[in-house]
Amino acid sequence: MNSIPVIFITARTDEASIEKAYEVGGVDYVTKPFKPKELFARVKTQLQLSTLIKELEASKRELKYLSEIDPMTKLYNRRYFNHVAKNMMQLAKRDESTLSVVMLDIDKFKEVNDTYGHDVGDEIIIALSDILLEMTRESDLVCRYGGEEFLLLLPETSLEGALVIAEKIRKKVALFVLSLENGHKVSVTLSSGVSEVDSIQDQTIEASIKKADIALYTAKSKGRDQVVPFSLSLIE
C-alpha cells in the first residue's frame, strides 16, 4: 500500500474522472475552486488514518510474534512448529531430501524445581534453549514443545546426522553449570529421541514426532542422559 496518501484537486466532477483518480491511487479528492479549510480537514483526516494504519500493522506484527514464540525462551512454540513442520515435510518429500526430528526432555527436572525452586528451573530452561540455538543451524527449527521438552526439526539431515547433533547437545548440556548467588551449582542432563522423517510411511509430521517420542521414552528407561534413535525394534 502507498504510504503517502494522495488527495486529488480537480476541476472535474464527472464520475469517470473521480473513479480514475481513485484507480491510480488517490485516497480522496477536492473539487476546484477548493475551500482551504476543507482541504486542511481532509489532509488531517488522511494523516490520522495513516497513523492508525501504521499502528494496526505494528499490532498485527506483534500478534503474529506472540502467536509463534514462547515468551520465556523466545523459541518457537508448539503451534508454530506444527504449522512449519507440515510445510517442511512437504518440501522434503518434493525434493526427496532428508528431514529429521529430535525430541529432547530434561532429566529429573522436577527434582531441580523441588530443590532449588521454580525460578532456578526457569533459568535452566532458558539456558538450555540458548544452547539449542547455538548448536543448530539457521535453517533448523528449534521449538519449546512443552514445559521442559524441546523439539528440533532438521532439514537436509539424515538420522545419522541428527544423532551427531543430538549427541553434541547432550554433551554440551551435561557440561553446563548454573552458578547460584548462594554458591550452589546446578546442572542437568538431557535425554533425546531421534527419528528421520519417512516420506512414504509418515503421512503426517505427528507420526515422525511420535517415533522420536518412543525413542525418547527408551532413552529415559535406559537410564537418561543419552540419545536413542528410533528403530522398529523399539515397538516390537
Residues forming the site for ligand GH3 (CB under 6 A):
105-110, 113, 118, 121-122, 125, 147-148, 220, 224
**In the complex, minimum distance from the CB of residue 75 to ligand GH3, in angstroms, rounded to a whole number:** 12
Residues at the contact surface with Mg ion, assessed by CB under 5 A = 105-106, 109, 149
Alpha helix locations (H) across 69-158? Answer: 78-95, 109-116, 118-135
Tell me the closest approach of the beta carbon of residue 189 to ligand GH3, in angstroms. Answer: 9
Residues 6+ apart with CB under 8 A from 54: none
> CB–CB of 163/98 below 8 Å?
no
Cβ closer to ligand GH3: 98 or 192? 192
As measured in angstroms, the least distance from the Cβ of 148 to Mg ion is 5
Q: Which does 149 bind (CB under 5 to 8 A by kind): ligand GH3, Mg ion, none?
A: Mg ion
* Active-site annotation holder among 19, 123, 134, 148: 148
For the chain, what's the residue count?
A: 236
Rounded to whole angstroms, how far apart are CA atoms 65 and 59?
A: 10
Determine the 3-state secondary structure of 96 from DSSP.
coil
User: What is the closest distance, in whole angstroms, from the C-beta atom of residue 4 to ligand GH3 in the complex?
Assistant: 47
Of 25 and 147, which CB lies nearer to ligand GH3 in the complex structure? Answer: 147
Distance CA 113, CA 123 (A): 11
Q: Considering CB distances under 5 to 8 angstroms, the limit depending on partner class, which of ligand GH3, Mg ion, none binds residue 122?
A: ligand GH3
Please report where in the chains the cell 511420535 appears, as a residue: 210
- Say how far apart CA 156 and CA 137 lie, in whole Å: 11
- Residues 56, 52: Cα–Cα separation, whole Å: 6
- Using the minimum distance from each CB to Mg ion, give the nearer residue, 106 or 165: 106
| Whether 55 is catalytic | no
If contact means CB under 5 to 8 A according to the sort of partner, which of Mg ion, ligand GH3, none does residue 81 touch? none
Nearer to Mg ion, 92 or 215 (CB): 215
Three-class secondary structure of residue 73 per DSSP: coil
Which helix (H) or strand (E) segment holds residue 36: the answer is helix 36-68
Pick the closer one to ligand GH3 by CB: 36 or 223.
Answer: 223
Residue 150: contacted member of ligand GH3, Mg ion, none (CB under 5 to 8 Å, by partner type):
none
Contact partner, 224, from Mg ion, ligand GH3, none, Cβ < 5-8 Å per class: ligand GH3
CA 81 to chain CA centroid, Å, is 6
Smallest distance, Mg ion to C-beta of residue 191, A? 8
- Count the Cβ atoms, other than its own, within 10 Å of residue 209: 22
Give catalytic residue positions.
Answer: 148
